[in-house]
Chain A
């Protein structure tokens, strides 16, 4: 167990280092964007004096490294700074949006992770049967479509044609859980369709990969039922790659939802980021970037730990 702790600490350290580097990259990237908020707010007719005064007021006249360290110092203390566009603390703006994004991601994950594991196991069990082929083909075509296309098809079908689900998501804090679920149904379905194929195919491939191992033959010769062999003997040994793919996809559910959020006008973090880029509200963009990066690094760390724990050889190595 000590080894695991050791590894976790090491990875955490590395994760922090990565975060610092990422924060620099985000800052440099944002700096490199043409124009700044002053031009966006004051418009093209503004005189040089007003622009300079405004920039001074927003501390934009300070050199880049000073602003970077101020920004980083703030974040470490939990202060994301103020939005330039509406003078609100960014922390508050992001909080609600982040919880919405997480809500969408968690709902999607709850649907697609179990479903893709089950489908993956079933198609390994019924390998090369019509069932397997149909699952394979459907999932392949699902990942071949861009997600906005899937989203619009679903809207066209389920909200325009049959009017079952709303095409635009409106969320507020007083809604009950089931109302919320109803509201996020379409974006959730879109994400699940896009993400499931990866996980399902990896589960199938990983299981089939271990099916030729001697211990599977041994289980067969012990007279164990084929279904049980797949679930109890093959699946536990194929967990490591499956966990990695699942976690990467979970990260995608949080980080990669920008397009889906925009299509459904979903009040999430991704949309906030897109809006803020348009408004040149750079501190907000930076904060969103940092949150996305943290999520990604944290989930990867989780994947490493889980796939290690799932393997007794690594868990109890002497």
Chain B
């Protein structure tokens, strides 16, 4: 059988102020009917660019070099006019974007956006398309499939919206769908549903797919074949099984072995007095609105790492903000070394401020792009310790050394650094205050996995050396497994389970913890199929109609 899509020698240049830079350096790619090809790589690998190029599309500022060839079903897209390309797009090749929330037009109802493609391409009438949309919504297990289409995008949750977009891509029964990181922005439990939906529709309709992701464990569940990309080059290509069991290249092995780092278990016997204690903390954003934190109690021992795990909306970041003094809780106490801290940041003493530092998720935003590193790191030194200029310079160099950055960075601006380096600067800034506790809010979520791993190792080394305490806020259970001593699982503003890592991560679990843990993709073929199968069986066995993805039901159990 001939190839449905055949890309040869694809080169794409980024054009900027008359200077061109090659970002895709000669990629060959073939896709057969009904086949799922995974494109995997870290940010900057060019995987999204390739996916869009398969549709003959380039983002502004890029262009496909004319010697490239993209043949779709015998038709050379490189020679096509815009009108010809627009005829193919949506009907024969469809696209699913990373963020459904951004890719749906906020001004139109879902069903109107679903039907737009088939109706405008003259494939179906509006009533036909509408009926099909409802059938497809049902197949993708969207709640209230007959009426959900009449909602606006903002009235539907993230996971549901992503499934609605998968449905929209299927609207014209395309031959190929390009999935561009369709689950990256989702929580693990929601990710499962979307993955299941994608697998179901691509199989049933025998649709070919380009599946773009940075997560190898995810792509293994879906793809027949995988291409590993790096800096616009192909690293290696093979079936999922080959790649998993016998990777040829070191880079692939690195990607596979990511998440192997794990903190040594320390002697849990010592039961010191807690350095930070939260008692009965309750908070809401405004008066007369539901509480986002409900009666939170926790204790943190010095020199340990406590991870707060939960999905979006569980209140974990709110808890961090309350502890650090950025948000006034309604009631409850925050005790530092047994002494009660005032709620408001303004009323805390300089020393109380110094002992609690914070590192944020997005280092790009947390660092002033117009200040040199010297100034960024020097500021807390001056503020907390009143250091003179020469002292500061010496100390900044020490700090850079602690986070494993060269001393020459002292005169650089943040935009000159990579994402991982920027996050290291943020860590150094927190360390500059010589804190007792550092609150890390999703510090590795925005980083590539290999970089994230390095940052986690650094944090661990620093803890071993300085005995600093971490309060680690994350939705990523792999991170938790790697670094936490103790774990707190949060759900909708409440703590559902807490305890040492070995206890929380080993059965018996609380039901919700079980759900979270089982939802983390594993580097195993057929992991998804097996998981879905076992869940269906359990649901059937329970017989009470309770679905696994019905998050709120888990709270009812814990109360």
Contacts and interface: CB of A to CB of B under 8 A. Distances in A.
B97 A225 contact: no
Given A224-B117, A316-B155, A214 B99 contact: yes
Contacts of B87: 223
Interface in A184-229: 212-215, 217-225, 228
B557 interface: no
A223 B121 contact: yes
A318 interface: yes
Contacts of B88: 223
| Most chain A beta-carbon neighbours within 10 Å: one of B60, B94, B108 | B108
B90 A237 contact: no
Interface string B96-114: 0101001111111000000
A218 B178 CA distance: 12
A214 B103 contact: yes
| Most chain A beta-carbon neighbours within 10 Å: one of B99, B155, B168 | B155
Contacts of A312: 106-107, 152, 154
A308 interface: no
Contacts of A89: none
Given A222-B94, A313-B152, A237 B55 contact: no
Contact of A225 (B86, B99, B105, B106): B86
9 contacts: A214-B102, A215-B102, A215-B106, A218-B105, A221-B90, A223-B120, A228-B120, A232-B108, A237-B106
Contacts of A279: none
A231 to B, nearest CB: 12
B354 interface: no
Closest 5 CB pairs of A and B: A223-B90, A223-B89, A222-B90, A236-B107, A214-B102
Contacts of A237: 105-107
Q: How big is the B interface, by class?
A: 20 to 34
Contacts, number: 80
Contact of B117 (A213, A215, A223, A317): A223
A223 B107 contact: no
A180 interface: no
A224 B116 contact: yes
Interface in A276-318: 311-313, 316-318
Interface string A130-170: 00000000000000000000000000000000000000000
Contacts of B116: 219, 222, 224
A224 B83 CA distance: 10
B91 interface: yes
B470 interface: no
A30 to B, nearest CB: 45
Given A222-B117, A223-B86, A224-B90, A318 B155 contact: yes
Contacts of B97: 214, 217-218
Interface in A230-270: 232-233, 236-237
Contacts of B104: 215, 218
A252 B90 CA distance: 46
A94 to B, nearest CB: 42
B152 A316 contact: yes
B120 A313 contact: no
A228 B97 CA distance: 21
Contacts of A228: 120
A23 B544 CA distance: 68
A212 B102 CA distance: 11
Given A214-B97, A224-B117, A219 B105 contact: yes
Given A223-B87, A223-B89, A224-B120, A313 B106 contact: yes
Contacts of B107: 233, 236-237, 311-312
Contacts of A317: 154
A216 to B, nearest CB: 8
A317 B55 CA distance: 36
B57 A220 contact: yes
Nearest to B107: A236
A219 B108 CA distance: 12
A308 B52 CA distance: 35
A72 to B, nearest CB: 38
Given A214-B99, A220-B57, A233-B105, A313 B89 contact: no
B95 interface: yes
A221 B60 CA distance: 14
B133 to A, nearest CB: 14
Contacts of A219: 105, 116
Given A218-B105, A224-B117, 11 more contacts: A212-B60, A214-B103, A220-B86, A221-B95, A222-B168, A223-B90, A224-B116, A225-B86, A236-B107, A312-B154, A318-B155
A164 B106 CA distance: 49
B108 A236 contact: yes
Contact of B89 (A212, A221, A236): A221
A161 to B, nearest CB: 47
Interface in B70-100: 85-91, 94-95, 97, 99
Contacts of B57: 220-221
Contact of A215 (B90, B105, B120, B121): B105
A219 B90 CA distance: 9
A310 to B, nearest CB: 8
Contacts of B55: 221
A126 to B, nearest CB: 15
Interface in B101-157: 102-108, 116-117, 120-121, 152, 154-155
A237 to B, nearest CB: 5
A255 to B, nearest CB: 32
Nearest to B83: A225
Contacts of A222: 89-90, 94-95, 116-117, 168
A228 B113 CA distance: 13
Contacts of A220: 57, 86, 89
Contacts of B168: 222
B142 to A, nearest CB: 18
B132 to A, nearest CB: 16
B527 to A, nearest CB: 30
B102 A213 contact: yes
A225 B55 CA distance: 15
Interface string A62-104: 0000000000000000000000000000000000000000000
A218 B103 contact: yes
Nearest to B169: A222
